[in-house]
Amino acid sequence: MNILHISAECYPVAKVGGLADVVGALPKYLNEAGQEASVIMPFYDVTFTQQHQFETVYEDAVFIGSDNYKFQVLKLKDKAVKFDLFLIDIPQLLFKDYVYSYDDSLRFTAFQIATLKWVQLHRNKLDVIHCHDHHTGLIPFMMQYCYRFENLKSIPTVLTIHNAQYQGWFSHERIDMIPEFDKKHIGLLDWDGSINPLAAAIKCAWRVNTVSPSYMEELKQNANGLESLLSHEAAKCSGILNGIDTTVWNTETDTFIKKQFKVTNNVSGKKANKKWLCDTYGLDLNKPLFTFIGRLVYEKGSDLFPVVFDEFLQEYKASIFLLGSGDTETEQQLTALKEKHSGSFNAFIGYDEALSHIIYAGADFLLMPSRVEPCGLNQMYSLTYGTIPIVRSIGGLKDTIVDITDGGFGFTHMDTTVDDIKNAMHRAMVFYENTTAFRKTRKRIMMIDHSWDNAAQQYINLYDSLKNE
């Protein structure tokens, strides 16, 4: 089957979070399984686009209101990724050194219209259009109801929800951004008085899935306003747990880390990476190293870290290191904590792909006290790199991490509270002292299979199910 993935992010071109990792991996694994998958995304002004060559394969313009935005479809010339990669270049709107800004509705609506104009040329070859998150959420609607895209009606659409918190809302006053359609269908775009691209995609896509089974169930109770919609559409909804790209996330070949290692020499390999982290950030190599990598947002529970870390370090001899950015107040509190607990706590406020790999490789424990976690990739990278995860049992974390007391390999807690996180960290401290059990668990977690093969097959089954509709 010929599957086109449409996304705002794709690793290694442009990454903000897990969406990029998934869109950078799934097409590759689909191709390995005999499918023909490709990706189309915006052309941003980022390192990847500066360092690679592209050829123009299509030129046209998008008209929005009285504005006319010329665009080109570019195709990556080299083999930096293992699928055909197309990029929409709309210089005025998309060619920025960032992926997201405060109001992206015009940028991503133009991206989606441009994508569909180009898709029309290839409509006879395409079997499935696969949209990811709200940035591509208008596509299933436009393919069904916009007059100019009428010839795309019969192509099945799939929506994957990577994060339902963000829905791409914009006001009805801006409805003219969407190409002309019969206004009797306007209800399909609306949710609660706004144009809601994620809701529109849930209503109009032929199939909808989340990136873990538990997250789909949780969304029926808590989906930032879309609970009843997801319950109503349950018949076409499912959950498929993400895999990880084992060619990128592999301790034996990872070029970011300070020392590569295998399961058999993980003790020395992990120690070398931990030593680099501790030397570089002034931490004690001999204490257990707790870490966090991610966006500093409410969903991730990171607002509790300043209190958790402060209290924990007053009670226990441990090292803590955090990599992330986001909420300004949390960033400021963490920066202040660096001075208070100098030698025990440090943080890199920002985004650093290489450093994230070294942390997975060098840490003893990785914290994920998320309030919401659609899948979570960090815990899987962490396991593969021999770092024991400490997670709140929710969403994808619930589907991947079994507590050590239940014969598993991680530390789980029920709620995102200071006490729950500290208790789980305390249990981890005790476990760390039992060197034999600790090392045995490390070996065990490095051998768990999280590869994409299984998930890719589930997506193929999903695409197959669309054939006879």
- From the CB of 74, what's the least distance to ligand ADP, in Å? 25
- From the CB of 303, what's the least distance to ligand ADP, in Å? 15
442 contact partners, CB below 8 Å, separation of at least 6 = 266, 270, 386, 388
- From the CB of 202, what's the least distance to ligand ADP, in Å? 19
Residue nearest to ligand ADP (CB): 18
Residue closer to ligand ADP by CB (options 140, 395) is 395
Return the half-sphere exposure (C-beta side, CA atoms, 13 A cut-off) of residue 216: 21
- From the CB of 345, what's the least distance to ligand ADP, in Å? 17
Residue closer to ligand ADP by CB (options 288, 324) is 324
How far is residue 4's CA from residue 197's CA, in Å, rounded to a whole number? 19
Residue closer to ligand ADP by CB (options 196, 356) is 356
- From the CB of 252, what's the least distance to ligand ADP, in Å? 19
Residue closer to ligand ADP by CB (options 105, 382) is 382
> Identity (one letter) of the amino acid at 437?
A
365 contact partners, CB below 8 Å, separation of at least 6 = 288, 289, 290, 291, 387, 388, 389, 390, 411, 425, 428, 432
168 contact partners, CB below 8 Å, separation of at least 6 = 104, 105, 108, 134, 135, 137, 196, 197, 198
- From the CB of 433, what's the least distance to ligand ADP, in Å? 28
Residue closer to ligand ADP by CB (options 19, 462) is 19
- From the CB of 450, what's the least distance to ligand ADP, in Å? 13
Structure tokens at 237: 């909804």
**Which residues form the interface with ligand ADP (CB under 6 A)?**
17-19, 21, 293-295, 323-325, 351-353, 356, 375-378
Residue closer to ligand ADP by CB (options 19, 429) is 19
Residue closer to ligand ADP by CB (options 203, 258) is 258
Q: Which runs of consecutive H residues, i.e. helices, occur in 54-138? A: 105-121
User: Which single residue is written with the structure tokens 């920025």?
Assistant: 96
How far is residue 253's CA from residue 259's CA, in Å, rounded to a whole number? 10
Q: Note whether 81 and 52 are within 8 A (CB).
A: no
HEC-encoded secondary structure of 319-347: EEEEEEEECHHHHHHHHHHHHHCCCCEEE
- From the CB of 377, what's the least distance to ligand ADP, in Å? 4
Residue closer to ligand ADP by CB (options 236, 295) is 295
- Taking alpha carbons only, the member of 62, 58, 51 closest to residue 13 is 51
